[in-house]
Amino acid sequence: MTQDELKHLVGRAAANYVLSNVAQGAVVGVGTGSTVNFFIDELAAMKDRFRGAISSSIASTERLKKHGISVLELDEIETLPVYVDGADEIDHSGHMIKGGGGALTREKIVAMVAQTFVCIVDESKRVDRLGKFPLPVEVIPMARAALMRRLAALGGEPVVRLAKDQSVFVTDNGNTIIDVHGLRIDDPEALEAEINGWPGIVTVGLFAQRGANICLLGSAKGVERIDY
């Protein structure tokens, strides 16, 4: 199966999970990225069953609205029964690296209020130890150079993310992303807490303190459900 076929497979599995486990009239949390796009497309077929969605990015909001799915503001709700999102890496404890699409801060905010985080990935994203994928860190622009020095001191190689036109990539929040290559991440929760404590950090793309509850893992054999 191609990677797109695997993404479609887990997107459909996530929609079936929501259909079976989320009450009618509920609001669904929706992440960002190419795998989530398949989930959104599948969710459209059952949109009348739900009140609407909370979106983690402008791109997902536009796709949801294109399908006629209502997008609510997070301030309008207290909790979400489920949040469905992808990951760039996920380990055997449900810790993840996220932010390859640049939406890590909003993704982390939505995940914070969700009762269940369902991560949808193909088998290439499952790893024994996080860190092969560059760690995204969203930063306030004025702090970029100082934070790059601090990230380098951890043993990684920090690189400012560029857009397709080679300009500096700007997040939906108006900030910069530093991608840290080559980090050895032995304790994801401790590293997340350390980096998030630095002035100028908006958030780090480690989702360890609030990791996944369920992973729907796509492979040529089908979709495997992993509970953490």
Q: pLDDT (tens digit, 9 = 90+) per residue, 182-208? A: 999 999 999 999 999 999 999 999 999
Both 217 and 200 in one domain: the answer is: no
Both 84 and 33 in one domain: the answer is: yes
Asked if the model's pLDDT at residue 3 lies above 90, the reply is no
* CA–CA separation, 123 and 159 (whole Å): 27
Beta bridge partners of 162: 168
Q: Which amino acids are annotated as binding site, given as ranges? A: 32-35, 85-88, 98-101, 125
* CA–CA separation, 133 and 185 (whole Å): 11
CATH code, 181:
3.30.70.260
DSSP 162: B
Both 8 and 119 in one domain: the answer is: yes
**Structural domains in the chain (count):** 2
Q: Which amino acids are annotated as binding site for substrate, given as ranges? A: 32-35, 85-88, 98-101, 125
Closest CA to 140 of 218, 202, 213, 194: 202
Q: Which domain holds residue 117?
A: 3-127+209-227
Other beta carbons within 10 angstroms of residue 197's beta carbon come to: 8
107 is catalytic: yes
pLDDT per residue over 11-56, tens digit each? 999 999 999 999 999 999 999 999 999 999 999 999 999 999 999 9
Catalytic residue of the set 42, 89, 107, 138? 107
Both 158 and 104 in one domain: the answer is: no
CATH code, 94:
3.40.50.1360
Percent helix / strand / coil, the chain, rounded to 5? 35, 25, 40
- pTM: predicted TM-score of the whole model, two decimal places: 0.94
Both 174 and 199 in one domain: the answer is: yes
* CA–CA separation, 116 and 166 (whole Å): 37
Over residues 124-153, the mean pLDDT reads: 97
In the numeric block, which tokens belong to residue 222? 């089908």
Give residue 1's pLDDT band: very low, low, confident or very high (50, 70, 90). Answer: confident
* CA–CA separation, 114 and 212 (whole Å): 11
Please give the C-alpha separations between residue 91 and each of 30, 121, 202, 215, in angstroms, as whole numbers.
21, 12, 24, 10
DSSP 80: B
Both 112 and 141 in one domain: the answer is: no
3-state helix/strand/coil string of 169-199? CCCCCCCEEEEEECCCCCCHHHHHHHHHCCC
What pLDDT score does 149 carry? 98
Both 108 and 29 in one domain: the answer is: yes
